[in-house]
Amino acid sequence: MKNMDNTLVRAKTRISSNGRIVIPPGIRRQLGVNPGGPVLMEVEDRVLRIESYPTMIARLQRELAQYIPPGVSLADGLIAERREEARREQEVQDRELEQGRLQREEQIARYRGS
């Protein structure tokens, strides 16, 4: 792992009998994690990778950004989709209410006609 000035940071530690690994304070600072803070761990090619959630989110955002065309806002697209969905839901509700109103009017007309 490299620190802010791009120099490699290494530390030796041990795995305890119950499987815990102590991450030295300097590396925790470098990772931006505090004791008790959540981290993501993954193993690839028998190498353990540990990163903080904020670091993981930033990395994923960078990786996914290549798939989003310039000038496109995913938030705007999501909001537009949700508005369209809400409009369709409202249309269904309006139709159901209208059908219920017509049924009640028919029942009233039958009652008055009997």
CB 9 within 8 A of CB 3: yes
Furthest-apart CA pair in the chain: how many Å? 93
C-alpha closest to that of 9 among 23, 28, 27, 34: 27
CB 30 within 8 A of CB 24: no
C-alpha closest to that of 31 among 67, 72, 59: 59
Domain regions of the chain by residue span: 1-67, 71-114
Residue labelled with tokens 């990772």: 31
Tens place of pLDDT for every residue, the chain, 114 residues?
555 555 677 888 899 999 998 888 888 888 888 888 889 999 999 999 999 888 899 999 999 988 988 888 889 989 999 999 999 999 999 999 999 999 999 999 888 876
Other beta carbons within 10 Å of 53:
13
Helix (H), strand (E) at residue 47: strand 47-52
Other beta carbons within 10 Å of 23:
16
Chosen CATH of 1-67 out of 1.10.287, 3.40.50, 3.40.630, 2.10.260: 2.10.260
